[in-house]
Chain A
Amino acid sequence: MNVNMLKFYGWMSVGLSLLLGNVWAATTEHLIECKVELERGVLEADQQQTAVVKVSLLADAPPQDAERPPVNLCIVMDYSGSMQGNKMEQARQAALEALSRLGAQDIFSLVIYDTHVETLIPAGALKDQRRARELIQSIRPSGNTNLFGGVSQGASELRKAVGDHAEGMVHRMILLSDGLANVGPSSPGELGRLGTSLQKEGISVTTIGVGIDYNEDVMTSLSQRSDGNTYFVENENDLARIFNEELGDVLSVVARNVRIKINCPENVKPIRSIGRDATIRGQSVEVDFNQLYGSQERFLLLEVEVPATAADIELPLLSAAIQYRNLFSEQDETQSLALNAQFSKRADVVQASYNEAVGKDLLLTNNALAKEEAITLYEQGDQKAAVELLRRNQQLLIQGNEYFSVPQEEITAEVNNLELRSTQLEEEGLNTKNRKLLRTEAEQTKSQQRTKSSWFK
């Protein structure tokens, strides 16, 4: 059994254990463990340099004996002509599966779209599941793909419950599409901006692309900017499983409105956030997450410029404030952290201070960025450079793994994956399927998506 399979089953078992009920374990005082770490705990003395800081949030498993937070779920389903046949049937089954997972406290709505957009089931508590099931079964494919309209209408349905009474509610849209958006705004930029706006309202959009004809840039942009998940489902028979996993995430949310605010002293300059959009203005950096799932780690990798500092001086690098809404205590909580850097002239001390956990995340995130760059290079006509970039990253991962005290399974799996992807890119070129695989993998890594099983098969 290969590493990928082990990982898949590992995640599946975690997911299943979370999904088995609406009642969870007891709340603890520290629902989220926040950490600020440097890639190297000790920096080289007397020289200006850049350092990578990881600000991470690790949520506990949802507390037992507490009711899970209610969910406000909207499924936005493409029923354009291309969904004809098994795709439509599987999508219907997946929607029915999602329906069966919800309880009386949840809100459900279903929007379908082709050229026209229709709210098949308006947002509301599921009093009549039978009627909802009949409506889902009645969906028949037709027409074009008004994806923007579908998302707008879905957001409008979710918005009905976004307000005073829904502070502790998880708002989630699951967008399912198999085609190119061809009515209304349809560029990745426009849909990405819509995603940003929806995130401000606490709405995350999870995108599920079915088949190889949808626009992965549009779908990933929308999910990334709204802090949702993204999936590529090549075989429609996997739809029900993906819905199940997604529902597992939605039903395990422990905190919402998560905000990381970082302030650096005057002499430390934030340069960039690696693999994630962040608002950087001068010395301040801000990142928002819509939600945090139980047993999930989410982090920000920040590259900062550190001034030349003498050995044995402890330099304050940053202070971080992490705010979130604890959905079990229904309280807003804040944790404050500070990070100082130490300096040494001894190379062995600097080397020994390497933080493997941060190093692993940095390697994988940089690898995701390299995949995106490979797509760009290929589309600029430089196939050779794209393949070389993937191979170079594969070597970096191998070298990085050797540097660790114990080889990391996740990195070993990614090394194997890169071998496959670079060979595919070299031999087949970047066909529609390979592009979707690369794009989705990169996005899932960058957004620290918990369920990445779409390409494990």
Chain B
Amino acid sequence: MRSHPRRFPVWFFTILVILPVLVLAGVGMKMLFLEQQRLQEQTLSVHERSLEQSAERLRERMERLRDELIFQLQSLPASAKDEALMELQRSHPLVRNVFRVSEDGKVLLPKLGIYLDPETEQFLSRYEALFADRVEWFPPQAETKSFSRYKRAPPELLSEWRPWQWADRDSLLLYVSVGGQAEVVGVEIEMSALYARIDVWLRSLSISAGGVDLALLDRRDRVLVATGETENRSGELSTEMGALLPYARLAMYPQAPLEEGLSDAFLYVAGSLGLMLILCILGGTFGLTAWVNRSRKEALQKTSFVSNVSHEFKTPLTTLRLYSELLLEGRVKDPEKQKHYLQTMRNESERLARLVHNVLDFSRLEMGRSRLQAVPLCVNDHLLAVVERVQERFTELGMCVCLPEEQGWGFADPDAVEQVMLNLFDNAMKYASEGGVLRIKIQKSGDHLAVSFEDEGPGIPPSEQTKIFNAFHQVDMSITRESGGTGLGLHISRRLAREMNGDLSCHSDKTGCIFVWRIPVPPEEKS
């Protein structure tokens, strides 16, 4: 029975690693979330401050504009007031219409009862409720103020900046009552011109606020003016414009809109990090599992190797001890038998020597102490010499070796060449002795010789063909296997072949096995 090392499953390491990592990741995510919230709050607060500043500057400009108009109204000459008002309408870009209402509520300008152009007619009808005294001219909250900028302005000036809604559109009136007189003079603001100015102001405020888009929206969220695209923009912040534009609010559209909860960017980053973490954990776990399993396998192979080597050493040593004791005790009298015993002892000691040789070679190769001296050599000569050395064993096993007819010159270390040959012959004797024939062929292929060893044994299963060159590997790893050996022969042979710039490979099917040994040809033989 072949024993397999127990493998640790991946899930074992995964759980082992992932649990603490998940705890850490959870804590990290929570901290990231809190940090993002903090940043969002900070950004929101910055945007809100910036919006308030923008609105304040807009209000200041509006106030200046209003004050200038109030100043112009209160500075109208007492005589020819109507002409002065008409001139204001003709020349002031922000004045659409002008009016004057007497103390007793009579509209003095525009003059009624005469032909008026459509624009003036529409003006009168727009503010009919006011001109007909149906609404109060100066509500209680009307502003009484002194204008420090205009020293001539009387302190008792009563002014009203009055929003008006007509046909779903907002407009503004500005009128004053000067010096305690009940007469009212005023203007209707040219809204398009006002919005054109606000549009330019907004653009400069937008640049000051770092390029965020600003828009003035009316009570139904219609865009009055905007510095950029406002449709389908999220993250809008807004503030009321106050008494100067009571129907409007100033909206700001930050370039990176603020979102409730987790933002897409945050989720994307966190998700990417999480994915990378999981991949790292999985990769690490697979690597760790593979490393542990490989180490366990190597440890088992070494244990097996020690057992095998002990076993391999024990067999010849037992034979040597047994036969030497028989000879020493003189119990074997027959000279033929004595000769046979001595030959067996010699064979066993040679086998022991080969075993030791292999173990030492492996040790040298592992430690990198191998010193091979490549020289031009005749492969056939070395084959012949080695076959002669093992001919007796072939004969005992009933195997026949067919040497190549072709002559082949190689460039390799002679001792290593013979070591490889011995290992390949050993391998054939162990596994293909029943096949009877081992054919050796030499073929020159470019800069290399291909020396093939073809046996007629049972062959090697495909799954084992790549493993047979691994150290300590044997097709049957059990201690009770039929064939002996340390599992080093083919491993050492391939390494020696490769160190001599050649290679050793195996091709097998059910009719046998072919080991092809590629040996470089001497430099002078290269075409």
Using a CB–CB cutoff of 8 Å, the interface residues on chain A facing chain B are 115-117, 143-144, 146, 148-149, 151-153, 155-156, 183-185, 190-191, 193-194, 196-198, 200-201, 269-271, 277-283, 286, 288
Q: CB-CB < 8 A to A197: which residues of B?
A: 93-94, 190, 192-193, 196
A151 touches B196 (CB 8 A): yes
A279 touches B192 (CB 8 A): no
A152 touches B90 (CB 8 A): no
Known: A149-B203, A198-B93, A200-B92. A282 touches B196 (CB 8 A): no
Using a CB–CB cutoff of 8 Å, the interface residues on chain B facing chain A are 90-94, 96, 110-111, 114-117, 119-120, 190-193, 195-197, 199-200, 203, 223-230
Alpha-carbon distance between A155 and B110 when the two chains are bound, in angstroms:
30
B90 touches A183 (CB 8 A): no
Q: Is the interface of A mostly helix, strand, loop or mixed?
A: mixed
Partner of B196, one of A143, A152, A270, A288: A152
Known: A185-B192, A196-B190, A280-B115. A149 touches B93 (CB 8 A): no
Alpha-carbon distance between A197 and B115 when the two chains are bound, in angstroms:
24
Q: CB-CB < 8 A to B92: which residues of A?
A: 200
B195 touches A200 (CB 8 A): no
Alpha-carbon distance between A155 and B190 when the two chains are bound, in angstroms:
15
Q: CB-CB < 8 A to A153: which residues of B?
A: 199-200, 203
Could you list 18 A-B pairs, sorted by A, with CB under 8 Å? A152-B197, A153-B203, A156-B200, A183-B228, A184-B224, A184-B225, A185-B192, A190-B192, A193-B193, A194-B192, A196-B190, A197-B193, A277-B117, A277-B119, A281-B110, A281-B115, A281-B117, A283-B114
A193 touches B223 (CB 8 A): no
Q: How many A-B residue pairs have CB under 8 A?
A: 96
Residue of B nearest to A115 (CB): B229
Alpha-carbon distance between A190 and B91 when the two chains are bound, in angstroms:
19
Alpha-carbon distance between A185 and B222 when the two chains are bound, in angstroms:
10
A280 touches B200 (CB 8 A): no
B120 touches A148 (CB 8 A): no
Pick the most buried of B117, B196, B225, B229: most chain A CB atoms within 10 A of its CB: B196
B90 touches A117 (CB 8 A): no
Partner of B225, one of A116, A149, A200, A280: A149
Alpha-carbon distance between A283 and B116 when the two chains are bound, in angstroms:
10
Alpha-carbon distance between A396 and B224 when the two chains are bound, in angstroms:
45
Q: CB-CB < 8 A to A271: which residues of B?
A: 115
A200 touches B114 (CB 8 A): no
Alpha-carbon distance between A184 and B213 when the two chains are bound, in angstroms:
13
Q: CB-CB < 8 A to B193: which residues of A?
A: 193-194, 197-198
A146 touches B226 (CB 8 A): yes
Partner of A144, one of B94, B190, B229: B229
Q: CB-CB < 8 A to B229: which residues of A?
A: 115, 143-144, 183
Q: CB-CB < 8 A to B224: which residues of A?
A: 184-185
B227 touches A282 (CB 8 A): no
A184 touches B111 (CB 8 A): no
For residue A199, give the distance in angstroms from its CB to the closest CB of chain B. 9
For residue A272, give the distance in angstroms from its CB to the closest CB of chain B. 9
For residue A369, give the distance in angstroms from its CB to the closest CB of chain B. 15
Partner of B203, one of A117, A269, A277: A117
For residue A122, give the distance in angstroms from its CB to the closest CB of chain B. 12
Q: CB-CB < 8 A to B230: which residues of A?
A: 183
Partner of A279, one of B96, B117, B226, B228: B117
Q: CB-CB < 8 A to A270: which residues of B?
A: 115
Alpha-carbon distance between A117 and B229 when the two chains are bound, in angstroms:
11
